[in-house]
Amino acid sequence: DAGASRLLEVAGIGKQFKGLRALDDVTLDVGAGEIRGIVGPNGSGKTTLFNVVTGLYKPTTGEVRFAGRRVTGASPYRLAQAGMARTFQNLRLFRALTVRDNVLVALDRTRTRSIWRYPLWPVGVWRHDRDLRAAADELLARFGLTDFAGALPGALPYGIQRRVEIARAMAQHPRLLLLDEPAAGLNGEEVRQLGEIVRSIRGSGVTVILIEHNMGLVMSLCERVTVLASGRIIADGTPAEVATAPQVIEAYLGD
Ligand code: ADP
């Protein structure tokens, strides 16, 4: 059954904001173990697609299936529980918590609500939980963040903050990781490290979808690329296929 290997199925998704059709009949499948790129000019609907998939927006039309289950309109928290984790284009770290504690809050398995709504006071308790601390330190080591464990995110270089956000997402033990422009603001060396991190994440069995403007990174990392323009999919294929497709070149010339 070909469907068995599909982790995410997006079928006929439309999203209307008042007079604006941000997504129009978007259909795509992402296979388990894939690294998928989502590209397209600014305003083409990429982040809106992430927001629909992760439950932040309810679609106007269409259906989202995750691991074979219909999840259209489910809350972000339920989807996180089901195995989706994401990062944001504009970092959303807890500024008042250290790097280790940012990871700790996402690790706690006793949470019954979203990390965004849960009062942060239990972090004082979790800090003294040996197992949680060990798990947090393991994640920090895995992402090269050990030296920054005690620092506040705001004091760290941007590239490190981005890595903290990825480590926090991975603390949720996702099956699917959605990265929204992870290379934005990174220098060349940081982009290279990001590529290695994403490959190691996939190597651990996690499916990855990334929105990305850095074409070098997309080309070197993704098996398949989906191209959006004005809310519609205009191309889908290998990086080499989409890069040379006339409709893609035309869409970018108008950007
Ligand atoms: P991209 O991520 O490709 O740059 P977006 O998905 O952010 O594009 O935006 C697609 C279109 O939808 C844009 O025209 C944007 O202004 C609009 N849009 C996105 N979110 C909202 C919203 N919450 N309310 C109104 N319009 C929105």
Between 175 and 113, the higher pLDDT residue: 175
| Nearby residues of 246 by Cβ (< 8 Å), 6 or more positions away | none
Nearest CA to ligand 1 atom 18: 22
Which amino acid is present at 92?
R
Atom of ligand 1 nearest to the CA of 48: 6
Confidence of residue 130 (pLDDT cuts 50, 70, 90): confident
Task: Give ligand 1 pocket residues (Cβ under 6 A).
Answer: 17, 20, 22, 40, 42-48
Going by the DSSP 8-state scheme, the letter that residue 4 receives in this structure is: G
With a cut of 0.95, is the ipTM above it? yes
| Res. 124: pLDDT tops 60 | yes
For range 133-156, the mean pLDDT = 94
- Per-residue model confidence as pLDDT tens digits over 189-203: 999 999 999 999 999
Q: Are 231 and 25 in contact (CB under 8 A)?
A: no
According to DSSP H, which parts of the chain are helical?
46-53, 76-82, 99-107, 123-126, 130-142, 158-170, 188-203, 215-221, 239-243, 246-253
Domains 1-83+175-191+198-255 and 90-173 are alike in CATH topology: yes
> Which residue would you say has higher pLDDT here, 161 or 3?
161
- Which CATH architecture describes the domain 90-173? 3-Layer(aba) Sandwich (3.40)
Superfamily of domain 1-83+175-191+198-255: P-loop containing nucleotide triphosphate hydrolases (3.40.50.300)
The pLDDT of residue 1 is: 44
Average pLDDT over residues 19-36: 96
- Distance (Å) from CA 48 to ligand 1 centroid: 6
pLDDT digits (tens, 9 = 90+) for 51-71: 999 999 999 999 999 999 999
Checking if the pLDDT of 229 tops 80, the result is yes
Q: Mutation test of ligand 1: which of 18, 48, 50 has the most ligand atoms closer than 8 Å to its C-beta?
A: 48
User: What does the domain layout of the chain look like in residue ranges?
Assistant: 1-83+175-191+198-255, 90-173
Task: Report pLDDT for 140.
Answer: 97
Burial of 195 (0-12, 13-18, 19+ CB in 10 A): middle
Cα distances from 162 to residues 80, 81, 169, 224, in angstroms, run 19, 22, 11, 24
CA–centroid distance, residue 30 to ligand 1 (Å): 22
Distance 133 CA to ligand 1 centre (A): 39
- Model pLDDT for residues 211-227, shown as the tens digit of each residue: 999 999 999 999 999 99
- 10 membership: H or E segment, kind and range: strand 6-17
pLDDT at 96: 87
Mean pLDDT of the chain: 90
Burial 73-106 (b: 16+ CB within 10 A, else e): ebebbebbebbbbbbeeebebbeebbbbbbbbbb
pLDDT recorded at residue 252: 84
Q: What residue type is assigned to position 206 of the chain?
A: V
Mean pLDDT, range 11-36, rounded to an integer: 97
User: Distance, CA 112 to ligand 1 centroid (Å)?
Assistant: 31
